[in-house]
Every structure is written in structure tokens, then in C-alpha cells.
Amino acid sequence: MLYLTSEPLQCRKASEAHTRNKNSRHVMTSHIYTSGVLLHLRRKAEESLGRLKDLQNSPIKCYAHENPTAKVWYHTTSPLIDNGDGLITNLEEAYENLKVVGTDLTRIFNGTPCEKVFMAGKWAHNTPWPANNISNLLRNVMLWLWGGLNSDTDCICVRNLTHIRNMISYDEEDKEVNNAIMHFDAGHPFTYELMVYLKENFKVATWGVNSPGAATAIAKKVCGTEDLNEILLHHCANVTLRPLKEMQLFGWPDWNNYFQDNNGERFAEEHQDAFIVHLYNKLSQRTPVAIGNRSIYDEIAKAHCPITYAAAKRRAYFF
């Protein structure tokens, strides 16, 4: 997860981060923030011993770049973060507002509606998606405890968004709420309702139930309607649904639009309302993208993730 705050933080440590040796950090837990606007960017997959090689190409740099006045915290659920190649150090030196930290899951889930689901451990067994399962539980708990904006790591930030509050992304074409991108203040009833819903309806091996399925069900409940298009862009119980053009850009069936040659040169002009674009890595991860092909992905990476883009050009011809 990644945290971003645009305000001076008042925080206290739940425990200290320790150094196991000069190449590794043994992280017991993250800082606990008592105030501030936070951005939680969750990882969808963990590598053994917490190796973060994927950070080299991760959109977290875009969040740090587009929100320079904000504190950005990238959380991993691995207990050990390997800094043997200096990647974490290089990231933190390149962006003073970016920190990589660990998460003590037992302490975070303690006392929440999702505690029993987490402690039972079924989310990790007999499922092809253990990392997705824990992420779907964790993001709601984090937002409820400390507030902030949660974003999947297959999303790229293209505009400063520290002023946006109490909203969730919405696909008005499919009438589906997607908690891949959402902001809520600490203690907000929407995230509490999400935790209660998952406590009662969590599925370990059914795709979509714990994420858009849960978010859509709670939005209908708190807004008192079966047709969420009726309240699109209007507040409902202190919640705003943000349409595709702002928080995802395209629905998942159109994921390939991001990678077509020469269709990104007018991105800034044609998509002035966009804050975040959702790349749908589950569908696009096997699609090679030639660096410099002027696709939407190529253009936004070059403009909003310049350090990552420059590094990619030095290493390969494809993303």
C-alpha cells in the first residue's frame, strides 16, 4: 500500500522498523497516523521475502511525481523487504515524499469486523488469488482506521488529487462501483459497511465478489437505489460516485485502448477530466508495448512517470 498526505502529519510509531543487516529491513509495522489525508496504494502480489523488483516499473512513482507536496507511503505485507540492490534507497532518494514500509496485519485487523475472516486464514487457501483476497480485506480496514485514497497498483495518476474526498470510482456503462479507487475519511460509514459485508459474504475463490461486487452492493444500500446512475456525481450519504472519465477512463472490456499505436498523442487534450487511469493488469499483463509507440500508455508514462520511463528506455525496447 502507498500513503499520500498533503498535510503535516501528526503520527506515532506502533513499533520501530529494524535493520536486519545492511541489505535488508525487517519491518514490524507501519506508522499509525492520527491525522492527514492518506493515499493507500496496495500491491496485488508479493514476491518471496518481499523483493520489490516490480517497483522499478510501478505507477507509485507517478503518484509521488504528480503529488509532490504529499507524503507517499508504499506498504507491503511482507515481513522482510530486500534492499540488496539498493532499489528502495534509490526510490526514496529520487522522491523525498515516497517511503517504502511494511504492514503488521495482525495488529491492523485486530478489533475490526474483518478480524475473524483474516485470522481464520481461509483467504490464503484453496484459491488462485490469495494476494487479491488479503488486499480486498486490508484496503477497507486501512481507510476506516486512518482515512485516505486507495488505488490499485495497475492505476496511473495523471493529475494531482489530494483535494478529492469521500468518493469511489464508478463504471456508469456497467453500473458497477469499483473500489480499486476510492477515498474516505477515517471512520466513514461506507468503509465500515464494506467490512461488515465482507465479514458475512467473503468468498475465497469467486472473482469480483470481494471487490466491485461488495462496493456495488454497499453503494446501493447506503444510497437506497438499485440504479446507481440516478445518483452519479451527486452526494449520497456523503459518498460521490466518480465516472469513468475521471477515475478509470475506460471500462475493463476496452483495456486494449491504452496500448494501440499512435492513439495517445492528444491524451492531455482529450481527457482533461482524468485523474487516474486503470490499466487492468489482469488482462493486459501479457501485452508487450513498444517504448515510443505513442500509445496512451506510452504518452502518460513519459509525461507523468519520467524517471520510470527513462529507466525503461535504458533497459529494453518494450514495457
Q: Which of 222, 207, 217, 202 is nearest to 109 (CA)?
A: 202
The yes-or-no verdict on residue 137 having pLDDT over 90 is yes
Q: What local confidence, expressed as pLDDT, does residue 256 receive?
A: 94
**Domain with 302 in it:** 2-315
Confidence of residue 10 (pLDDT cuts 50, 70, 90): very low
Of 9-18, 38-47, 270-279, the range with the lowest mean pLDDT is 9-18
How does pLDDT run across 139-196, given as a tens digit for each residue? 999 899 988 888 888 889 999 998 888 999 999 999 999 999 999 999 999 999 999 9
The domain total for the chain is 1
- Only one residue has cell 481507510, namely 143
H helices present in the chain, as ranges: 60-66, 87-94, 105-109, 115-120, 130-146, 189-201, 214-223, 244-247, 267-270, 281-284, 296-304, 306-315
* pLDDT score of 287: 85
Average pLDDT, the chain: 79
Q: Which of 244, 110, 224, 98 is nearest to 168 (CA)?
A: 244
Higher pLDDT, 194 or 33: 194
Hey, how many other C-beta atoms are within 10 angstroms of the C-beta on 74? 28
Confidence check: pLDDT of 276 > 80: yes
Q: Which is more confident, 276 or 207?
A: 276
Mean pLDDT of 97-121: 90
pLDDT digit string, tens, across residues 44-88? 333 323 334 444 446 678 888 888 887 777 777 776 677 776 767
How confident is the model at residue 307, as a pLDDT?
Answer: 75
| pLDDT at residue 85, as a whole number | 65
Summarised one tens digit per residue, pLDDT across range 194-247 is 999 999 999 999 988 999 999 999 999 999 999 999 888 777 888 999 999 999
Q: Is it the case that residue 19 has pLDDT exceeding 60?
A: no
* Order of all β-strands in the sheet with 71-76: 2-5, 71-76, 98-102
Supply the pLDDT for residue 101.
74
Q: Does residue 153 contact residue 60 with C-beta atoms inside 8 Å?
A: yes
Contact indicator for 300, 264 with CB cutoff of 8 Å: yes
Confidence of residue 8 (pLDDT cuts 50, 70, 90): very low
Q: Which residue has the higher pLDDT, 2 or 15?
A: 2
Q: What is the pLDDT of residue 58?
A: 61
- Which band of pLDDT confidence, cut at 50, 70 and 90, is reported for residue 89? confident
Classify the phi-psi angles of 21: left when phi > 0, otherwise alpha if psi is within -120 to 50, otherwise beta: beta
Please report which confidence band the pLDDT of residue 310 belongs to, taking 50, 70 and 90 as the band edges.
confident
Grid cell at residue 157: 495518476
What CATH number does the domain containing 141 carry? 3.90.550
Confidence of residue 288 (pLDDT cuts 50, 70, 90): confident
**Would you state the pLDDT for residue 267?**
94
Give the relative orientation of helices 189-201 and 214-223 as an angle to the nearest 10 degrees: 130
pTM comes to: 0.82
